[in-house]
A and B are shown apart, each in its own frame.
Chain A
Amino acid sequence: DGGITQSPKYLFRKEGQNVTLSCEQNLNHDAMYWYRQDPGQGLRLIYYSQIVNDFQKGDIAEGYSVSREKKESFPLTVTSAQKNPTAFYLCASSTGQGETGYTFGSGTRLTVV
Chain B
Amino acid sequence: AQRVTQPEKLLSVFKGAPVELKCNYSYSGSPELFWYVQYSRQRLQLLLRHISRESIKGFTADLNKGETSFHLKKPFAQEEDSAMYYCALNAGGTSYGKLTFGQGTILTVHP
- Which residues on A sit within 8 Å (CB–CB) of B18? none
The size bracket of the interface on A is: 20 to 34
* A101 CB to nearest B CB, Å: 4
Chain A residues with CB under 8 Å of chain B are: 31, 33, 35, 40-45, 48, 50, 58, 90, 94-99, 101-102, 104-107
Contact of A99 among B45, B90, B101 (CB under 8 A): B90
The answer to whether A102 and B86 have CB atoms under 8 Å apart is no
A-B contact count (CB 8 A): 54
How many chain B residues touch A (CB < 8 A): the figure is: 24
The answer to whether B101 and A43 have CB atoms under 8 Å apart is yes
* B65 CB to nearest A CB, Å: 17
The answer to whether B103 and A98 have CB atoms under 8 Å apart is no
